[in-house]
Amino acid sequence: MPPKDFIHFSLQRHTLPRVIWYNRRHKKAHAVHARHDFASGGRNVTRVEKITLRKYRMVSQDLPAAFDGTTVAFLSDIHHSRSFPLGRVKELVALTNGLHADLVLLGGDYVSHSRAHIPSFFREAAALTAPFGVYGVLGNHDRNTDAELSEQCMRQAGIRSLDNQGYWLEKGGARIRVGGVADLTTATQDLSPMLAETRPNDFMILVSHHPDYAEQLPFSLIDLMLCGHTHGGQVSLLGKWAPTGFMPSRFKLKYLTGVIKNAGTTVIVSNGIGTVGPPVRIWAAPQIWLITLCADRRRTNRSF
């Protein structure tokens, strides 16, 4: 039997390029092909949790050559709670650091409902590391639980807030812009700090917890938008359909999961990591995104 606090049905062999297996007994994390996962019949399900690693090559004419090959790890909706306890947060941090990404971005909803989980989450998240740093926005659960405490703990963890903020990352005499907006449903959004002192051909990455904010973006100014919130439906059919009455988006299935091309902006919606409500995911596997920024015009954007 699976552990009572977490059940994940891995029924999507054709959509899982790699699966990260966590073995809590031996404190190890290693990767296997999804075909092996499917064929295993879940024989290790009592001791492991599975997180998919989604990779995407983002090609842009705006990306300076100095940033070609830069990697970005994106995590969202971790929901530290009894269903995703501190030990798993620690394993998630170790796994993320093991990707050796140049930049780590966090999409919010670090806890579910308990104020007590906020300090403990960020004590572990403080170990996240990347050459360009770790940045994040707050989600609706963070703000509804305790926005002030979440912001304080984020600062103490060395994670820079992207809520209505923008920063320049510099390399080899070139620079790109990274910023974010506050949550769409629980705060006021202000894109102007992100756009301050930028030019139309600057490469810009925006983090927004809620994907619906993509509909408010100026045409073609933002190259890449990273978001979460939807959990991929958490319970879906083949990863392509979920009951629209439960989808936390005005645009329903448009922003369910994955890569969406929207008015000149590439939007990536992550399934996230944890759960809300019953700790069950069906055809909505928890995931980390690893995005490689490419300045080579001959390539095409694709996920795998």
CATH code of the region 53-303: 3.60.21.10
The predicted model gives 45-64 an average pLDDT of 78
Per-state percent for the chain, helix, strand, coil, to nearest 5: 25, 30, 45
**Cα distance between residue 196 and residue 288, in whole Å:** 30
Tokens 């999507």 — which residue? 12
Other CB atoms within a 10 A radius of the CB of residue 260 amount to: 18
The average confidence (pLDDT) of the chain is 82
pLDDT at 44 over 90: no
pLDDT at 301 over 90: no
pLDDT at 77 over 50: yes
**Domain residue extents for the chain:** 53-303
Q: What is the dihedral of CA 187, 188, 192, 195, to 10 degrees?
A: 40
239 contact partners, CB below 8 Å, separation of at least 6: 12, 15, 232, 257, 283, 284
Residue 36: which H helix or E strand, with range? Answer: helix 34-39
The predicted model gives 79-83 an average pLDDT of 93
The full DSSP string for 8-21 is EE---GGG-SEEEE
pTM of the model: 0.82
**Cα distance between residue 71 and residue 224, in whole Å:** 13
Tokens 């969202």 — which residue? 76
pLDDT at 43 over 60: no
4 contact partners, CB below 8 Å, separation of at least 6: none
Give 180-226 pLDDT, tens digit per residue: 999 999 999 999 999 999 999 999 999 999 999 999 998 789 999 99
**Cα distance between residue 155 and residue 157, in whole Å:** 5
